[in-house]
Structure 1
Amino acid sequence: MKQGQPVRDASHLYDVERRAEHATRPGFRITELQLSPTQKVPWHTHSNISDTFYVLEGQMRLFLQEPKEDVHLKPGEVYVVRPTRPHLVTNGGTTSLTFLVLQGVGEYDFVPLASR
């Protein structure tokens, strides 16, 4: 995968049904995202922060590299992606997926990745 330029706000890079910021402070933030069955958060990584995913409603399918992994999460389940690990978030079900992503501790960036 080829790395793009890091961005501070990735909201323009992919569409979601809903996006809400619940907490933002230096080095940490909590965002709620809602994805339709056809939406996804494209392949990316973060330079300094981990992503902690917590599923509220629906089914999440998380694809990861380094090492390659395919994770399925349902409501109440949590998964942590370490900094620099490439990942892609998809809706693994037929209804909307709603989840929280806790990001930190450190400076946030979103580094888009493209397949070679």
Structure 2
Amino acid sequence: MNQPQPVKDASSLYEVERRAQHAARPGFRITELQLSATQKVPWHTHTHVSDTFYVLEGQMRLFLQNPKEEVNLKPGEVYVVRPTRPHLVTNGGAKSLTFLVLQGVGEYDFVPLLGTK
């Protein structure tokens, strides 16, 4: 089986309602994403950086592997996904989900995972 190849820019791999970069420094970045009720950030992992999710509006359903877990976040809530832990971000409500993702400290990459359930 082929190993998925890390990419530096994952914006072409999935659709979102809106994407805004708020900060980008070597080893750290803050991005704001808005997902419709049917959109998701597909299963992936990061080699070196953690994802810190902070919900601004709506409800997030976060699915994780190693160990298997589901986390539901409301506005003002935060969850950190450590490097190399597979995760999937979905909208947990009927309205748009808007959240910040703080990524660092380290070189960013996005490793898509195929066949993860």
TM over 0.5: yes
1:9 aligns with 2:15: no
1:28 alignment partner in structure 2: 28
Distance, in Å, in 1 between the alignment partners of 2:80 and 2:3 is 21
Letter in 2 for 1:87: H
CA distance in 2, matches of 1:4, 1:58: 31
Q: Does 1:39 align with 2:39?
A: yes
TM-score under structure 1 length normalisation: 0.97
The aligned residue for residue 102 of structure 1 is 102
C-alpha distance in 2 between matches for 1:74 and 1:85: 22
Per the normalisation by structure 2, the TM-score is 0.96
Aligned equivalents of 1:107 and 1:74: distance in 2? 29
Q: What residue in structure 1 maps to residue 60 of structure 2?
A: 60
Q: In the alignment, what sits opposite 2:80?
A: 80
Aligned residues: 115
Deviations 1:54-109 (A, max 9, x none): 00000000000000000000000000000000000000000000000000000000
Listed as ranges, the gaps of 5+ residues in structure 2 are: none
Deviation at residue 4 of structure 1 after TM alignment: 1.0
CA RMSD after TM alignment: 1.0
Instruction: Using the aligned pairs only, state the percent identity.
Output: 83
Distance 1:102 1:3 in 2: 26
Deviating beyond 6 angstroms after TM superposition, the runs of 4 or more aligned structure 1 residues are none
